[in-house]
Homo-oligomer: A and B are copies of this chain.
Amino acid sequence: MHNNQFKKGELYSFITGKASTAIARRLQKKLNQAELNITIEQWSVLYHLWKKHGLSQQELCNATFRDKPSITRLVDNLEKQNLVKRVPSENDRRINLIYLTKQGQKLEEQTMRLADQTLTEALKTVPASKIEMCKEVLQIVYNNLT
């Protein structure tokens, strides 16, 4: 099959991200059912803060592939819900360091379990070797475009 010929047929689902949209919706549904009252976008910010406390907003931009206004507003909403706190950096007064509150820390275990469940459901029946290859392709795509 010619590469180009192939691509045309697959164009739509690659561009619209059918699969990742479905994964995100499933996780959102689980978060709602557990009455955790956070969005997947908020979860994706918390995810990085659980791994490393006290990231700056700019670091969150890089980690989550969002622009600065998006992070400003996500942090606004997370702060309103008392899940994180902005702390001005002492070294550089332009920078806000974002810290989890106790409430924000508490969400880690449960939401990570839900995320893990979501992926288990999504990748059910897919052999590990194929997942690995798929992951590689998606990483190459990302690298090609950034």
Q: Which residues of A contact B (CB under 8 A)?
A: 1, 3-4, 6-8, 10-27, 40, 44, 47, 64-65, 112, 115-116, 118-126, 128, 130-142, 144-146
Contact = CB atoms under 8 A, between A and B. Distances in A.
B134 A1 contact: no
A137 B126 contact: yes
11 contacts: A3-B123, A6-B128, A7-B116, A13-B139, A15-B27, A15-B44, A15-B118, A22-B142, A125-B140, A126-B137, A134-B134
A27 B145 CA distance: 10
B121 A144 contact: yes
B126 A140 contact: yes
A-B pairs with lowest CB-CB distance, top 7: A17-B20, A19-B138, A22-B145, A134-B137, A19-B141, A134-B134, A17-B17
A11 B44 CA distance: 11
Contacts of A122: 14, 141, 144-145
A29 to B, nearest CB: 10
A19 B128 contact: no
B134 A65 contact: no
Contacts of A115: 11, 15
Contacts of A6: 128, 131-132
